[in-house]
Structure 1
């Protein structure tokens, strides 16, 4: 057996630290804790846990009370340690305390989330890292809430939703994902009959309705006027189709289309919402109108130059017909008035030969961000080096004209590395 090297034995791993012995490790931890309040607090809680749930609960309650009472701003320097400490507290509740006292852990997780408003007022959460800690706590609640009576669990949840609906719009999916399936149905009934409803509750009602599989509750969360909005009609129709209520889905989509047509009657155009169009095509397929669905797919592709539409169209054709349709889509993209849209389609497909030809034929139209050009040049440089070189050169010229000489030089140097 190969003996470990000196370098490997010096790595900070659980195995190597265990070799130091309990006494030495204890001395090191005490020394570190003297200068790290968060470490000292963690050690104190771990020691309390060894004495039982009551002792750990007392330490957790002290920390929760501090979070509720504190008002001082948390600077960007203290922010990483604070978030790490907060997540450690969450873990102690959901793991250590839950092992000893599940009901006690559940009540303290609710208190933990209740403190979120106070904590958010003390620091800026630009990247959402703080909110992710609270989202994990909500998911932890979902795993523990099955211990409660369904009605009690739903009532507690709805109380929390009503107090902080904006935050729960982000947290609720994680909780419901871990909770018993019946919770969403019970909570939906509870919140639908609770007085004091506001518009901020609607996203929560829709989330509950989706998990509960209650299409009618989801639909009822929109006004009749809102249901004629194409994007809203698409959302509702997709759920109706999933519930095999095809006629109702078609009727909702038709009403939204009528409104859109009336809006464009003066210009004699019909420019449907993409989500509505997706739902409409799905409806046509389900209704047994496959040719009409294919016609709609191609019309949508011509309007949007979307790869998704073209691939959906060609995938439903017989052999050889699909190849012909692909070439027709490539030709359409290559001559599209919007050069950016056409080339984006060919690169995303990918159709690199056709993309390279488009670059050669319409060099004067090339105008993309430097990042996009570099990304596409990297894809083209092996099989279509001339096109990659031309893209980089055009981007370098554009950068030079706007006096961004550093970028111009970088793009030129990159172009010079491509063998022609």
Structure 2
């Protein structure tokens, strides 16, 4: 049996419009184009796309040139239309022209990005719509450039950066993480000459590209002498050299950034931000590994764990141990966390590690050290409630005290109190059933 024809309704939808037929739709499009120049331009571009890459590229060039050479201010009323047109031009380049001729598409997308500077002086972009459009399109440069190929795309992108660094430094910086390693490496190599005296903007682009390409030498050349001595980038340089199998250079870079010994002022050691020194310690471990000093590296990892209670550090340490030794190390780490000077930090590690029993034991052993101002307490309590209701109740009581002290009330406090009542009852039953 033949299917009945689709039913037409008055709803303006793609399905219903298709039922009007090609001739009727063409007439309606002509009427719309007569009253809307922007719509008419879009129809011309669509027709050009059907004719082929050369026609579409020529039509895109005409419109891009007009937008670039314009001088009049674009009012807030016209800004939405501009955003729609820019988005439409980008889509035609990315979705239509790229499939027909990637090299032509790359050149037109470069020209599209070049509109950012002239348009910035003509349109008030208080909502960041135009800026966001250009920022969001950066990955498309990488995708189309990869389609063009390394030798064809890299010189084009280098030229764009050389001529309009203010536009292209941020674009390439955002595009670098999604470029192919081959393209990022070739472009980084093209930017390498003169990096020592280059602008900070150009060095940062080269750094991101070399990071993507895994080119340690170019990455190092993006650093100034001051940055090489810093505890952040200098230590990172040592870590990268160690990972690249160059222990002697890594050791030299590391020693150049060694943190100074803290000064003693009036009998007290000066307070310093521990983060930079911790970064240096992490780099030192990588260098010890590269030098083959495995035992010292393991000892350094253990000390790092004791300072930070980092689950990531412990996993790295355990992963380098033989069978059974890893079990001993984990037991040692859990015991250490239970007696950590900051109980709440110790409990945080134990909960992250999934050591519920050890976390509950630590809370019950040191109730006077429980602080209720820790944001994660409700989550911890819910996870401990099943098998360790007493510890969960103790945590929630401290949390209630902290909420009251901070002036909280209403639904938030009521919800915690209701949960606490249920936990307290469960804890009482657990105590009553416990063997004498």
After TM superposition, is the score higher than 0.5? Answer: yes
Alignment partner of 2:97: what SS? Answer: helix
User: After superposition, what is the alpha-carbon deviation per residue over 1:294-333, rounded to whole angstroms, capped at 9, x for unaligned?
Assistant: 1111111111221222222333334444333323222322
The answer to whether 1:352 aligns with 2:356 is: yes
Distance 1:387 1:27 in 2: 76
Question: Paired residue for 1:278?
Answer: 282
Question: Paired residue for 1:112?
Answer: 112
Worse overlay, 173-182 or 344-353: 173-182
Question: Paired residue for 1:232?
Answer: 233
Alignment partner of 2:354: what SS? Answer: coil
CA shift at 1:192, angstroms?
3.9
What is the aligned counterpart of 2:137 among 134, 139, 144? 134
Structure 2 gaps of 5+ residues are 7-11, 427-436
Question: Paired residue for 2:187?
Answer: 184
Cα gap change, 1:168 to 1:412, in 2 (>3 Å):
same
Question: Paired residue for 1:50?
Answer: 50
CA shift at 1:179, angstroms?
6.2
CA shift at 1:410, angstroms?
3.4
CA shift at 1:151, angstroms?
7.3
- Residues 138 and 171, structure 1, Cα contact 8 Å, conserved in 2: no
- Residues 145 and 153, structure 1, Cα contact 8 Å, conserved in 2: no
Worse overlay, 15-24 or 243-252: 15-24
CA shift at 1:73, angstroms?
6.1
Distance 1:179 1:21 in 2: 49
CA shift at 1:15, angstroms?
8.9
1:163-202 equivalence runs, <5 A: 163-164=166-167, 167-168=170-171, 170-174=173-177, 176-177=179-180, 180=183, 183-189=186-192, 192=195, 197-202=198-203
1:347-386 equivalence runs, <5 A: 347-360=351-364, 361-362=366-367, 365-370=370-375, 372-386=376-390
Question: Paired residue for 1:313?
Answer: 317
Q: How many residues are aligned here? A: 407
Distance 1:98 1:343 in 2: 55
Question: Paired residue for 2:9?
Answer: none
- Residues 113 and 138, structure 1, Cα contact 8 Å, conserved in 2: no
1:4-403 equivalence runs, <5 A: 42-61=42-61, 63-65=63-65, 68=68, 69=70, 71-72=73-74, 86-118=86-118, 122-124=124-126, 129-130=132-133, 132-146=135-149, 149=152, 152-153=155-156, 155-159=158-162, 162-164=165-167, 167-168=170-171, 170-174=173-177, 176-177=179-180, 180=183, 183-189=186-192, 192=195, 197-211=198-212, 213-257=214-258, 260-264=259-263, 267=269, 273-360=277-364, 361-362=366-367, 365-370=370-375, 372-403=376-407
CA shift at 1:350, angstroms?
2.0
TM superposition score normalised by structure 1? 0.77
Cα gap change, 1:389 to 1:157, in 2 (>3 Å):
farther
- Residues 239 and 250, structure 2, Cα contact 8 Å, conserved in 1: yes
- Residues 192 and 218, structure 2, Cα contact 8 Å, conserved in 1: no
- Residues 347 and 359, structure 2, Cα contact 8 Å, conserved in 1: yes
Cα gap change, 1:323 to 1:110, in 2 (>3 Å):
same
